[in-house]
Amino acid sequence: MGRLYIGLVHYPVKGRYGETIATALTGLDIHDIARSAKTFGVHRFYVITPLRSQQEIAQRIVRYWLDQKGVDPTHRAEALETVEVVESLEESLERLEREAGQKPLLVGTSARVYPERPQISYRELRRRVEEAPDSVYILFGTGWGLADEVIRRVDFMLPPIRGVGEYNHLSVRAAAAIILDRLRGRCEGDDEAR
Amino acid sequence: MGRLYIGLVHYPVKGRYGETIATALTGLDIHDIARSAKTFGVHRFYVITPLRSQQEIAQRIVRYWLDQKGVDPTHRAEALETVEVVESLEESLERLEREAGQKPLLVGTSARVYPERPQISYRELRRRVEEAPDSVYILFGTGWGLADEVIRRVDFMLPPIRGVGEYNHLSVRAAAAIILDRLRGRCEGDDEAR
């Protein structure tokens, strides 16, 4: 039975000029994306950073809130329990495969189209998540997006989120929330998915 | 021709025990929600707080980034141009009606259902936003959600966003992103809305 996993990549990602960089952790990314992950039934949320000091900050945030379990009225512990801090995409894949007993379908996200890479529609990925023959692992890039070496590695890319007009500079927190809703969201009182 | 407006309410909202409170501004709310607003074609984003010091903080954030226009590679100015800081829901309604030349359809959001209030589906509200006979003004509450006096005032409530299971503690930033996507979102390369 497949499960849904997500990863927030701090390295390797693109910098402003397309160069490969490691970005710094944003504390609120962990909180917000963990809450969205928990809401939409994500099994595990990997926070990926190679920098030891950054791993420690992330661990400290998670531990602090896990200690507040049952006391904190905002229920952050339940969300942060999904977080695992790892040093590389490789390490997250190893842990995921060990846990799931299978290779996941690896899916990338971007604000731009990569015409040379296979694309999967939200509808089709939703179906695969629901029927769950595979585990699905969705990657989100910080900075200016996932580095090309990651894009080359994924099985599929999801199409960019478009709104109205040309502006598409969503925060990674907003993009992750929207994508999880498109794959798993429902409305109270609706029988239908949307 | 109707337009889409949103408001982030810091007063009157619910506190932890259901009491009416004013919450403090979160800088990242303004950034994130402005970027989502700009992406999804929101005409104006009202930041509502009665506290003078908080209004000044919000104004300072907006002015700082507007000054970076053309220099800042993250295009925050374009998003923050949608922001107007006002002291009350009343003031936002007056400004909106002056600008739009009509009363808007006032729509509330919440993580819970209010069975005694009229509800509108995402599908139906999307249709009304697209056909745009009216301007639509959607309110988001900080803290523990919009106070009852606001809930009683809206024309319709949107249903809560549901994921998988019982956990539904999305951040207001994530909820706003998801709701705007449900009303206005498209996928690159799709002819269809979803």
List CB contacts (< 8 A) between B187 and chain A. Answer: 121-122, 159-162
d(CA B151, CA B160): 14
Interface of B with A in 145-164 (CB under 8 A): 159-164
**Mean of the pLDDT values across residues B17-28?**
93
pLDDT at B44 over 80: yes
With an 8 Å Cβ cutoff, are B167 and A79 in contact? yes
Q: Which residue's structure tokens are 């299978």?
A: A102
Optimal mutation site among B164, B184, B190, interface A, most CBs of chain A within 10 A: B164
Q: What's the CA gap between B164 and A181, in Å, rounded?
A: 10
Give chain A positions within 8 Å (CB) of B45: none
Instruction: Report how far residue A94's alpha carbon sits from residue A193's, in angstroms, rounded to the nearest whole number.
Output: 33
pLDDT over 90 (residue B5): yes
CB count within 10 Å of CB B192 equals 8
Is the pLDDT at A72 greater than 90? The verdict is: no
Rounded to whole angstroms, the Cα distance separating B80 from B92 reads: 17
Please report, to the nearest 10 degrees, the dihedral formed by the alpha carbons of residues A28, A33, A38, A41 taken in order: 180
CB distance A151 to A139 below 8 Å:
no
User: What are the backbone angles phi and psi of residue B192, rounded to the nearest 5°?
Assistant: -75, 165
d(CA B181, CA B183): 5
pLDDT at B77: 86
Domains and CATH numbers, chain B: 4-184 (3.40.1280.10)
pLDDT in tens, B71-95: 777 788 889 999 999 999 999 999 9
Record the pTM.
0.94
The answer to whether A18 contacts chain B (CB < 8 Å) is no
CB contact under 8 A, A169 and B119: no
For residue A47, give the H/E element and its range. strand A44-48
Amino acid at A40: F
Which residues of chain A lie closer than 8 angstroms to B190, CB-CB?
A: 121, 159
CA distances from A14 to A18, A103, A150, A175, B171 (A): 5, 26, 10, 17, 27
CB proximity under 8 Å: A 74-93 to B: 74-76, 78-79
pLDDT of residue B191: 43
Distance from CA of B41 to the nearest CA of A (A): 5
Residue A20 reports pLDDT greater than 90: yes
